[in-house]
């Protein structure tokens, strides 16, 4: 089963959808608001059903969202229309190309997206660099190497969650610096809390990180 098929199956499963596709904005949206002025042009990478895109648009940002799951994008469009916000949602596989011109965005956000794209992460990093303006910001919120839920499924260095069948990768500051080595690193912070996943309690740990695109030469 392909990655797309696994995500499609997870989206259609009510329990998986509840845990993997939330409705409320996540902490990354509030981080963005503390860094950027209204009117900033933002790309929500792997936007899912648009919870962060919609929140940021309501706060005065110019928002675009991409996801390779057509069902999620359709849901995001309906939610945005209901909340009377205009967002440019597109169905697209970011591991191939981000469908926007170079130097187009003031910021890109990735909320628990890079964790499931596997070996193509460097390609995605290159595409993020391309679509950001000089001095544009990249905001990341990805599962930490200390996350108990994902680590509970680790076997021989590989993490495949039995709850959804999707392979995951975990991050720390040094891993992210290596992946985004052509960016300027501005800082990182780990966030931990107790959370329930599929009926079981875990210590969840995620890492916030902010990078800035270096000037093109």
Out of 8-12, 91-95, 139-143, least confident range: 8-12
pLDDT of 217 higher than 60:
no
Q: Is residue 80 within 8 Å of 50, Cβ to Cβ?
A: yes
Percent of the chain with pLDDT over 70: 99
Residue 216 confidence (pLDDT) above 70: no
Q: Determine the pLDDT at residue 37.
A: 96
Per-residue pLDDT at 4: 87
pLDDT band at 119 (very low <50, low <70, confident <90, very high): confident
Average pLDDT value for the chain: 94
pLDDT in tens, 145-175: 999 999 999 999 899 988 888 999 999 999 9
For 40-83, the pLDDT digits (tens) are 999 999 999 999 999 999 999 999 999 999 999 999 999 999 99
Q: What confidence score (pLDDT) does residue 211 get?
A: 98
Tell me: the pLDDT tens digits for 80-103?
999 999 999 999 999 999 999 999
pTM of the model: 0.94
Domain residues for 168?
Answer: 3-213
Provide the 3-class DSSP secondary structure of residue 42. strand
Domain count for the chain: 1
Instruction: Give dist(CA 151, CA 158) in Å, integer.
Output: 9
Write down the pLDDT at residue 93.
Answer: 93
> What is the residue-wise DSSP string for 52-121?
HHHHHHHTT-EEEEEES-HHHHHHHHHHHHHTT---EEEE--TTT--SS-TT-EEEEEEES-GGGSGGGH
Which residue, chain included where needed, has tokens 């860094």?
35
Which pLDDT band, with edges at 50, 70 and 90, does 20 fall under?
confident
**CATH number for 88:** 3.40.50.150
pLDDT, position 3: 87
**pLDDT (mean) for 107-125:** 94
């Amino acid at each position: 089963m392909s990655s797309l098929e696994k995500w499609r199956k997870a989206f259609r499963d009510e329990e998986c959808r509840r845990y993997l596709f939330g409705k409320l904005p996540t902490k990354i949206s509030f981080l963005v608001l503390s860094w950027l002025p209204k009117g900033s042009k933002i790309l929500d990478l792997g936007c899912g059903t648009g919870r962060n895109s919609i929140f940021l648009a309501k706060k005065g940002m110019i928002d675009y969202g991409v996801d390779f799951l057509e069902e999620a994008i359709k849901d995001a469009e309906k939610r945005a229309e209901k909340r009377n916000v205009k967002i440019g949602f597109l169905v697209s596989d970011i591991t191939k190309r981000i469908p926007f011109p170079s130097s187009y965005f003031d910021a890109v956000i990735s909320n628990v997206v890079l964790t499931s794209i596997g070996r193509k992460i460097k390609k995605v990093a290159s595409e993020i660099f391309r679509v950001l303006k000089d001095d544009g910001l990249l905001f990341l919120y990805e599962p930490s190497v200390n996350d108990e839920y994902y680590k509970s499924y680790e076997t021989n260095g590989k993490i495949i969650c039995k709850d959804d069948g999707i392979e995951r990768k975990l991050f720390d500051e040094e891993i992210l610096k290596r992946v985004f080595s052509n960016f300027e690193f501005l800082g990182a912070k780990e966030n931990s809390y107790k959370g329930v996943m599929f009926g079981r309690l875990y210590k969840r740990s995620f890492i916030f990180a902010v990078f800035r695109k270096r000037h093109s030469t």
